[in-house]
Chains A and B, each alone.
Chain A
């Protein structure tokens, strides 16, 4: 279960960090000092929010910029990119980590109690000696380990609902809402992603906190009043929607092999449609509650 892991040094530049996050499609990376001591965990969302948005994520009609804006963006990228990780990136210096000798049961309890889906990191550094990281464990690796357990093989998505494990509420916005509305929801409501629906209530895409962070930048405030439908075309991130009858084993298989978000829906007390994401943590919590 213990993974080899990418690292950043506190003396690395933000450009280097940006390249590693982007090219390896990572959300979090362990940061060490020059003596290999653990300093914390850097998050992609925070780093991306310091850079101007990628031209590839802009709507087509805005991706051709004036020379003046291009120059400003390039200068801004270079200015931020030259900074060092220790200068300008707040690290999650978490208080939850594991020792190499820690029993698996204890680790799982810790994940369940400390890794609230709203807070903290999704990776767990494992220490061999004090402050020296020997490897990391991700929620996905734990899920891979638990995959063959009979409890999970027999369950369906409805069991997650009945055991009160569906907690990652997904806010829904119309594709006519503007980007600033999505940014505000992410800032104030603890949701990790936002589902976008069309006028006919069809689910057409999903926006993550990290992705929205990339688009909100002081030099590009001209895009914040654009409707979300402009960005959904750019994104092409249709989530997988599963029913309550879906076998959990299918969901687990999908989570292990793909980065696509999995959503499920239930009717709330107000009879409106409630959407929830199913993440590896959802299933780990279900496993612990059933075990």
Chain B
């Protein structure tokens, strides 16, 4: 792949597979005036095969009969929704309910209030800045830059930054024709060997050396820390994932989606005692751990798994214990790819972003 290849080419193969199915035909771009309940149901069940959708574009249509053509007003992610809502009931530990720590009545009333709100009312911060979008003939470099850039938004009066893992793609008529995610880019990078074997064969160690990661600067959290300790840390450092360390060993990794899912006023008391070891993803060679000598090809393979980790731990796993030597996020891969092929300076940032 080179910078001559554009998104149209990249998307062509994606769209051909789905062009005649209901999934693309019924792919919803919701309106700012749609209810949160519609947004939530579409996000939970509207993807291919009934899978969740992680980002939904909110478009103010020019013509009500053509809801996909218009002005992009916001992009709502799974994290945004998780932050707004209480945890789904199947994530609530049974003992929390048995102990009567949840007031079902007030939870029910609060949920009714939220799900009847419009998307614009409930996600005001998402509407405070211009979200990224890309034209279908734009270069791959443009798309990569949009996926790696950070964007300002208003969070209750203070300005915060965020990244988007998926961006909407529009055609000449300002109609939404698809969504391009970092997963699509990684999938293409991995699938198209020709021309970039040196990149795919690069080792994890070479990548970490190039981005100048210092193990001592990686923020970690302990398994006995609470969900709210993690939320507090995520707020402070703007990371999306944290290794969970017990003594000298890393035992798990926790991401912001999961802890935001548990964050809700109705559950503050119920979850104040829940420790991260009960919810974090344990280290697993098949899922979230790579070795220093692994090629980037296999690291990308980890990111493309069904549960889509956005970061993997680096180190040697022995008897369920990991001596962590680094962390690689999907952003490290995208940025290094930019630097290698698109003559963009590699940004030396934290791999926890």
User: Which A residues form the contact surface with B (CB < 8 A)?
Assistant: 49-50, 68-69, 72, 116, 118-120, 169, 171, 173, 177-178, 180-181, 183-185, 187-191, 216-219, 221-222, 224-225, 268, 274
Other than the given A181-B112, A274-B105, 14 more pairs (CB < 8 A) read: A118-B94, A169-B108, A177-B116, A180-B41, A181-B115, A184-B111, A185-B111, A185-B115, A188-B86, A189-B107, A216-B45, A217-B45, A218-B22, A221-B41
B residues near A169, Cβ cutoff 8 Å:
104-105, 108
Judge whether B122 is part of the interface by a CB distance below 8 angstroms. no
Q: How many residues of B contact A (CB 8 A)?
A: 38
B residues near A49, Cβ cutoff 8 Å:
50
B residues near A190, Cβ cutoff 8 Å:
89, 92, 97, 102, 104, 107
CA distance A183 to B107 in the complex (A): 15
A residues near B36, Cβ cutoff 8 Å:
184
> Can you list 23 A-B contacts with CB-CB less than 8 angstroms, sorted by A residue number?
A49-B50, A50-B50, A68-B22, A116-B97, A119-B94, A169-B104, A183-B41, A184-B111, A188-B86, A188-B107, A189-B104, A189-B107, A191-B104, A216-B45, A218-B26, A218-B45, A218-B48, A218-B50, A219-B22, A221-B41, A221-B45, A221-B46, A224-B37
**Cβ contact within 8 Å between A217 and B50:** yes
**Cβ contact within 8 Å between B46 and A218:** yes
Judge whether B28 is part of the interface by a CB distance below 8 angstroms. yes
Contact flags B85-120 to A (C-beta < 8 A → 1, else 0)? 111110010100110001011011001100110000
**Cβ contact within 8 Å between A116 and B94:** yes
CA distance A118 to B22 in the complex (A): 35
CA distance A221 to B28 in the complex (A): 9
Judge whether B284 is part of the interface by a CB distance below 8 angstroms. no
Report which of A72, A171, A224, A274 forms a contact with B38, defined as CB distance below 8 A.
Answer: A224
Known: A178-B37, A180-B40, A218-B49. A116 touches B22 (CB 8 A): no
A residues near B28, Cβ cutoff 8 Å:
221
Q: What is the distance, in angstroms, from B97's C-beta to the closest C-beta of chain A?
A: 6
B residues near A69, Cβ cutoff 8 Å:
22
**Cβ contact within 8 Å between A181 and B86:** no
Report which of B22, B38, B50, B97 forms a contact with A180, defined as CB distance below 8 A.
Answer: B38
CB-CB nearest in chain A for B23: A218
**Cβ contact within 8 Å between A222 and B26:** yes
CB-CB nearest in chain B for A119: B94
Known: A218-B23, A218-B49, A221-B41. A268 touches B105 (CB 8 A): yes
B residues near A188, Cβ cutoff 8 Å:
85-89, 107, 111
CB-CB nearest in chain A for B103: A169
Known: A50-B50, A116-B98, A188-B86. A178 touches B35 (CB 8 A): yes
